[in-house]
């Protein structure tokens, strides 16, 4: 029975970590740290739950069912599972996340050096996606290209930045903004959505499993074990990165006063700490972080859609890279404006699906419970999304004033109530009768 060597397991963990850490993971924690002020670690706890805990749990859930999202969504039926999978893959693929990796790496890393012009963005994104295309065409080599080369380079750069944040803190912790003064934990929880790591985990599961299989491992038990180990390595790495960036942001109030996003905080810090080399270092770090994530997303999306449409994996890689190139040239601001409400709407059913996947054995029929709870989470998640987009004017007042609505968690209580009702119904109905052939 083929098994992985220790260095292969470590490379798999590095690859998994490198796939997750994109630009969003680097630019959101510093602004949370600065705005949370003295409440930084309470906000960090909420952030770590959605940006580290949920992704690791998702990888474990996927590993148990072989890595494919359609197996995880089997209780809700094939049609609903395909719809959910398509929405998630498009969101973390060519519509939002993949183009965002190019726009963020350009605007944070290179725009200060080259100028923020449409032509500069186009040239950068063209070169960027040609590289993404070249690596993604050979998914069997991901463990070598990402796990052994790009991953360690990315980790080294993050260690330099994170270590410096603890050793060279520029100043004292400043005051908290009003929203973090009122509810630091829930604000951190919601901001963890923006990393898109949980949706990314749903997408990357099959990439990680395929990387294991590319080494000749076929045992389901070994695949599950290696995927869990990789997820834990990635989770520890993510937590260390986030904690260091929270520290960086919390101590940057004096040098980044007035900053409205994490990119500005990072720029101020690296300029203050590294001087003239700061911008160059940040450009390399952000570009490397984004490139690895874009490769993983492109591979995963091509793998998924090759099973739904009559196109080959390689053809889909070309199409996805070209489409992501076009979308990335819309600019970062437009992408974020559209993506935040969409993410707020689609995260709740995904969280429900992942959480309940560990409870299938408790019910006579998992479909009787998982489906209704996901439906309720979806409906109220859409309400949260509309509210985030400022389109809730026509909704009934009671609907936008539900418990936890101000924290963007209006879906939580209705989903919990439906879970109780559906579990009771499942208990009353008993085991489904088998249809005899």
CA distances from 336 to 3, 21, 320 (A): 42, 18, 20
3-state secondary structure the chain: CCCCCHHHHHHHHHHHHHHHCCHHHHHHHHHHHHHHHHHHHHHHHHHHHHHHHHHHHHHHHHHHCCCCHHHHCHHHCHHHHHHHHHHHHHHHHHHCHHHHHHHHHHHHHHHHHHCCCHHHHHHHHHHHHHHHHHHHCCHHHHHHHHHHHHHHHHHHHHHHHHHHHHHCCCCCCCCCCHHHHHCHHHHHHHHHHHHCHHHHHHHHHHHHHHHHHCCCCCCHHHHHHHHHHHHHHHHHHHHHHHHHHHHHHHCCCCCCCCCCCHHHHHHHHHHHHHCCHHHHHHHHHHHHHHHHHHHHHHHHHHHHHCCCCCCCHHHHHHHHHHHHHHHHCCCHHHHHHHHHHHHHHHHHHHHHHHHHHHHHHHCCCHHHHHHHHHHHHHHHHHHHHHHHCCCCCCCCHHHHCCCCHHHCCCCHHHHHHHHHHHHHHHHHHCCCCCCCC
- Taking only the tens of pLDDT, the chain with its 437 residues reads 678 888 888 888 888 887 787 767 888 899 999 999 899 999 999 999 989 999 999 988 888 887 678 888 999 988 998 998 898 888 888 888 889 888 888 877 777 777 778 899 999 999 999 999 988 888 766 556 666 676 677 777 777 877 887 777 777 888 888 889 988 998 898 888 878 888 888 877 777 888 888 888 888 888 888 888 998 999 998 998 899 999 989 888 888 877 777 877 887 888 788 776 777 777 777 777 788 788 888 988 898 899 899 999 999 999 999 999 999 998 767 777 777 788 888 889 999 999 999 888 899 999 999 999 999 999 998 888 888 777 777 778 777 778 877 766 789 999 999 999 999 999 999 888 654 44
Backbone angles phi, psi at 335, to 5 degrees: -60, -45
Residue 436: per-residue pLDDT: 45
Q: Where are the domains of the chain?
A: 4-347, 358-436
10 Å CB burial of residue 248 (0-12, 13-18, 19+) is: buried
Residue 223: per-residue pLDDT: 85
Burial readout 206-217 (b: 16 or more C-beta within 10 A, e: otherwise): bbbbbbbeebeb
Backbone angles phi, psi at 117, to 5 degrees: -105, 155
| Distance (Å, whole) CA 90 – CA 97 | 9
Q: Which fold has domain 4-347?
A: Amino acid/polyamine transporter I (1.20.1740)
Asked if residue 304 lies in contact with residue 85, where contact means CB atoms within 8 angstroms, the answer is yes
Cα–Cα–Cα angle for 341, 347, 351, rounded to 5 degrees? 165
| Distance (Å, whole) CA 397 – CA 400 | 5
Asked if residue 158 lies in contact with residue 285, where contact means CB atoms within 8 angstroms, the answer is yes
Q: Which of 314, 303, 5 is nearest to 148 (CA)?
A: 5
Asked if residue 145 lies in contact with residue 214, where contact means CB atoms within 8 angstroms, the answer is no
**CA 83, 86, 90, 92 torsion: positive or negative?**
positive
Note the pTM of the prediction, 2 decimals.
0.80
């Amino acid at each position: 029975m083929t098994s992985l060597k220790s260095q292969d397991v470590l490379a798999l963990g590095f690859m998994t970590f490198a796939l997750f850490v994109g630009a969003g993971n680097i630019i959101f924690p510093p602004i949370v740290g600065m705005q949370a002020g003295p409440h930084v670690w309470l906000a960090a706890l909420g952030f770590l739950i959605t940006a580290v805990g949920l992704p690791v749990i998702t990888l474990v859930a996927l590993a148990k069912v072989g890595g494919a999202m359609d197996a995880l969504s089997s209780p809700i039926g094939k049609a609903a599972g395909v719809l959910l999978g398509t929405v998630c893959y498009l969101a973390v693929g060519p519509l939002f996340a993949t183009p965002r990796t190019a726009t963020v790496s350009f605007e944070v890393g290179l725009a200060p050096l080259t100028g923020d012009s449409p032509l500069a963005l186009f040239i950068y994104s063209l070169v960027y996606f040609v590289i993404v295309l070249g690596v993604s065409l050979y998914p069997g080599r991901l463990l070598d290209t990402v796990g052994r080369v790009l991953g360690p380079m990315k980790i080294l750069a993050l260690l330099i930045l994170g270590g410096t944040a603890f050793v060279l803190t520029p100043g004292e912790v400043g005051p908290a903004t009003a929203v973090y003064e009122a509810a630091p934990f829930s604000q951190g929880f919601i901001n963890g959505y923006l990393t898109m790591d949980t949706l990314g985990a749903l997408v990357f599961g099959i990439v990680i499993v395929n990387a294991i299989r590319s080494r000749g491992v076929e045992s389901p038990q070994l695949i599950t074990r290696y995927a869990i180990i990789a997820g834990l390595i990635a989770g520890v790495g993510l937590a260390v990165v986030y904690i260091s960036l929270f520290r960086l942001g919390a101590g940057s109030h004096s040098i980044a006063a007035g900053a409205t996003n994490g990119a500005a905080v990072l720029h101020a810090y690296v300029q203050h700490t590294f001087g003239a080399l700061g911008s160059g270092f940040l450009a390399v770090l952000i570009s490397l972080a984004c490139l690895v994530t874009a490769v993983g997303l492109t591979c995963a999306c091509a793998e998924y859609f090759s099973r739904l449409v009559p196109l080959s994996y390689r053809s889909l890689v070309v199409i996805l890279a070209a489409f992501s190139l076009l979308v990335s040239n819309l600019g970062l601001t437009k992408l974020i404006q559209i993506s935040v409400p969409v993410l707020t709407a689609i995260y709740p059913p995904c969280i429900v699906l992942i959480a309940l996947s560990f409870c299938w054995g408790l019910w006579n029929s998992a479909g009787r419970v998982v489906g209704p709870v996901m439906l309720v989470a979806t409906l109220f998640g859409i309400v949260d999304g509309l509210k985030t987009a400022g389109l809730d004017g026509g909704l009934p007042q009671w609907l936008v004033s539900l418990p936890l609505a101000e924290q963007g968690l209006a879906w939580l209580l209705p989903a919990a109530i439906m879970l109780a009702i559906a579990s009771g119904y499942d208990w009353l109905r008993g085991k489904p009768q088998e249809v005899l052939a």
